[in-house]
Amino acid sequence: MSIFATNRYALSLGAAAALLAGCGESQPPLSVSPAGLAPQQSRASEAYHILHEFGKSAADGTNPYAGLIVVKGTLYGTTIMGGSNNAGTVFAVAKTGEETVLHSFGGSGDGSGPVAGLLDVNGTLYGTTVEGGANDSGTVFSITRGGKEKVLYSFPYTGNGGDQPYASLIDVNGTLYGTTYQGGALPCGNAGCGTVFSITTSGTERLLYSFGKQTNDGLYPQAALLNVGGTLYGTTTQGGKYKRGTVFMISTAGKEHVLYSFGANANDGTLPSCALIYTRGALYGTTQHGPGPQYAGTVFSITTFGRERSVFNFTGGDGSQPIAGLINFKGLLYGTTLMGGVKNVGVVFSLTTSGEETVLHSFRTGSGISPYAGLVVADGTLYGTTYGSGYQHHGNVYSLTP
């Protein structure tokens, strides 16, 4: 099964997971030892419902990588493949399960392979594609809820521009901000170390920062940014003092500072790929890898001054490889892991800020596996996507009542 089924990246699910878990660095395998798996069912499996299984119609999207947003009671998201051109889709799903494909990517000059989720700005949705566009290096696009799509900007691949925008966009006072995984002014291999950029809703783009400029700088940002009081915070999957990823801050004018370098001690997490959230005066996030024999990942907190602590270390049975970020709902943190749980194909969990975890659901073949995406909450219900399983392993949209 290919994630980027068309064009120059053409990665298998396993290869993409390896990319996201270190981008070519030598790391422990993503699989978790069966000895670490939980023997019992998760306590809330009966509250899990599949709303839509992808791929049942010819033009439907397949394999959603990103999470969902809720706009006026309807769920909106993207799939990385499927659609009329097998280059991904934008879709809408009612809470009752009815799905509509709003746009199929891959037409002439269009983007393809939307890895990121969507952003709602005054009723118009904005997003990114990792491929396609004028230079096959990805795009920023807008789309109405009626399905009228427009490419706002094509990334240039060469020169000082960005390449491969994996992350969703954020809105700061009417200007959109995002990251690209590669590209920028400084060389890392053949394609640059990644960038932070801004873009207006009419398509005027500005390069704010190229990673790798400073000693021990972060490299290869994969996650969306977070705005806290006008300062942007984010993570990089590599770089930093110990070459295991960073948390950084950057002004909207482009002044960047590394707050924390992962890998500082034996108990630290490594390789953060998720966006941060801000709650109770601190930033919270996840790392894909972490300490212990399972190397299963962590939840961490960090102050805006750079003081970091490990909140929770996964061990396998309670989840492994948290690729996605967290949400805060009624004082608890909620998230997903790509692997681990009863069948080693991922879990939904809740966590207190003091580190007490509950597995709410363990995924299994047939009802959804490999949730790369995090969660969104609406009317007290959690909603998310799984990348695989369901109809011909094309993934699904699910709900879960905590």
The two three-digit tokens of residue 63, written as one number: 């394999």
pLDDT tens-digit series, residues 304-330:
999 999 999 999 999 999 999 999 999
Task: For residue 229, give the H/E element and its range.
Answer: none
Question: pLDDT at position 46, please?
Answer: 58
Tokens of 399: 């709900």
Give the strand pairing for 332-337 and 327-329: antiparallel
Question: Contact, 158 vs 166, CB < 8 A?
Answer: no
Secondary structure tally for the chain: helices H, strands E: 1, 36
Is there a contact between 256 and 246 (Cβ–Cβ < 8 Å)? no
Task: Kindly report, residue by residue over 140-193, the tens digit of the pLDDT.
Answer: 999 999 999 999 999 997 777 899 999 999 999 999 999 999 999 877 766 789
Whether the pLDDT of residue 28 is over 80: the answer is: no
Is the pLDDT at 4 greater than 90? The verdict is: no
Evaluate if residue 39 carries a pLDDT over 50: no
CA distance 159 to 149: 27
CA angle 401, 13, 74 (to 5 degrees): 35
Cα–Cα dist 257/262, whole Å: 15
- Asked whether 326 and 334 are in contact (CB, 8 A), the reply is yes
DSSP lists the bridge partners of residue 121 as 124
Length of the chain in terms of residues written: 402
What's the rounded Cα separation, in Å, for the pair 265 and 312? 15
Q: What is the DSSP string of 113-129?
A: ---S--EEETTEEEEEE
pLDDT band per the 50, 70, 90 thresholds, residue 77: very high
245 against 34, higher pLDDT: 245
> How would DSSP label each residue in 289-340?
B-STTTT--EEEEE-TTS-EEEEEE--BTTBB---S--EEETTEEEEEESB-
What is the percent of the chain with per-residue pLDDT over 90, rounded to a whole number? Answer: 80
Q: For 345-383, how does the pLDDT look when each residue is reduced to its tens digit (9 = 90+)?
A: 999 999 999 999 999 999 999 889 999 999 999 999 999
What's the mean pLDDT when you consider all of the chain?
A: 89
pLDDT surpasses 80 at 105: yes
Residue 289's pLDDT is 94
Domains of the chain from N-terminus onward: 155-261 (2.40.128), 262-362 (2.40.128)
**Integer Rg of the chain from CA:** 19
Token pair of 269 as six digits: 């997490």
Residue with tokens 């809105």: 171
- CA 296 vs. chain centroid, Å, equals 18
